[in-house]
Amino acid sequence: MITMRDFFTGRLVPVLTILAAIVVIWYGAAVALNAPVLRDFEKRAGEQTQGMEFILKTWSQPKPTMPAPHQVAAAFWKYTVGVKLSSNRSLIYHSWVTLSATLLGFAMGTALGVVIAISIVHVPALDKSLLPWIITSQTVPILAVAPMIIVLLAAIGVTGLLPKALISTYLSFFPVAVGMVKGLRSPDILHMDLMRTYSASRSQVLWKLRIPASVPFFFASIKVAIAASLIGAIVGELPTGAVAGIGSKLLAGSYYSQTIDIFAALIAGSICAILLVTLVDITGRFVERRMGVKP
């Protein structure tokens, strides 16, 4: 059991300390990065502000190089709570568009990764032949491949959710395949011998021993996979000029130099990532509890 006290000293205090440090550094960076542009501007306008007044100005530019935290927070608030869910400006709506592609891609990637891992563990020839290709697949830069996939699929009439989800799949199957190969091979020799004394079939060994033994590996790898899926979905939204999704907001923001909007969209993306990873974590803990893991 985590008591309130443990929670505060063990979790909350360190997390808040880091957060405070980030905010301080961020404000500092906003001054440093916005100062040259602002000085330039003031020189042309013939103004000259100094000290605190100047610093405050760097934190309140309409199109800053680096928006200040409170500007991002205000924009984030406006685009989440301040607009209707159905609005094209709602970050919740756009997050949902991205999340649905993420989850579809993640589900397909996880399934593919597990199937590949089971095949590799059961067919020795695949271990040698398939694994190098899988590793090679991940050395291809996704930013280069994504537009090709999107354009090719659009050419055969596949648009919308699926192309983005496929990029998520491409990124997420890999950690699952690698983690599950390890997990499915993790049973003790002793346990394998025990199953042999029962003359258990390969599928019985798989279901009763390999798969339960691989559960911790599974959750460790889908935690990586779900984050990769989110990246994949966002990247998938970039090249198409997609009309919706966090990626489209990032792109629109950069067209019009709306740095504050870009940051607000980034925050939305980070919150999605945290939510997804936390969800995986909680599920993993619940499953391990059910499997009798020592608390």
Partner 1 sequence: MSTMPVISARNLDLVFQTGDGSVQALSDITLDIEKGEFVSLIGPSGCGKTTLLRVIADLEKPTAGSITVNGTTPENARLDGAYGYVFQQAALFPWRTIADNVALPLEIMGLGAEEKASRIKRNLDLVNLTGFEKKFPWQLSGGMQQRASIARALAVEPDMLLMDEPFGALDEIVRDHLNEELLKLWATTKKTVVFVTHSIPEAVYLSTRIVVMSPRPGRIHEIIDCDLGDDRPLDIRETPEFLRIAHQVRDGLREGHSDEA
Spatial separation of the C-alpha atoms in residues 113 and 107, rounded to whole Å: 10
User: Least CB distance from residue 16 to partner 1, whole Å?
Assistant: 35
Q: Least distance in Å: CB of 189 to partner 1?
A: 10
In angstroms, rounded to a whole number, what is the distance separating the alpha carbons of residues 46 and 217? 63
What dihedral do alpha carbons 110, 114, 116, 117 form, nearest 10°?
A: 130
Interaction residues for partner 1, span 145-204 (CB under 8 A):
188, 190-191, 193-200, 204
Nearer to partner 1, 153 or 213 (CB): 213
The residue among 106 and 219 lying less far from partner 1, judged by its C-beta, is: 219
Please, which of residues 90-149 interact with partner 1 by CB under 8 A? Answer: none
* Shortest spacing between CB 277 and partner 1, in angstroms: 24
Q: Is 292 in the site for partner 1 (CB under 8 A)?
A: yes
Q: Is 212 in the site for partner 1 (CB under 8 A)?
A: yes
Is 110 within 8 Å of 173 (Cβ atoms)? yes
Up-side HSE of residue 163: CA atoms within 13 Å toward CB? Answer: 23
Residue 109 near residue 225 (C-beta atoms within 8 A): yes
Indicate the residue among 35 and 195 with the shorter CB distance to partner 1.
195
The rounded distance, in Å, linking the Cα atoms of 99 and 174 is 20
Q: How many CB atoms lie within 10 A of CB 45?
A: 8
Q: Nearer Cβ to partner 1, position 72 or 209?
A: 209
Nearer to partner 1, 70 or 289 (CB): 289
**What's the rounded Cα separation, in Å, for the pair 60 and 74?**
12
Distance, in Å, from the CA atom of 256 to the CA atom of 11, rounded to the nearest integer, reads: 40
The verdict on 286 binding partner 1 (CB under 8 A) reads no
Give the count of residues interacting with partner 1 (CB under 8 A). Answer: 21
List of residues contacting partner 1 (CB under 8 A)? 188, 190-191, 193-200, 204, 208-209, 212-213, 215, 291-294
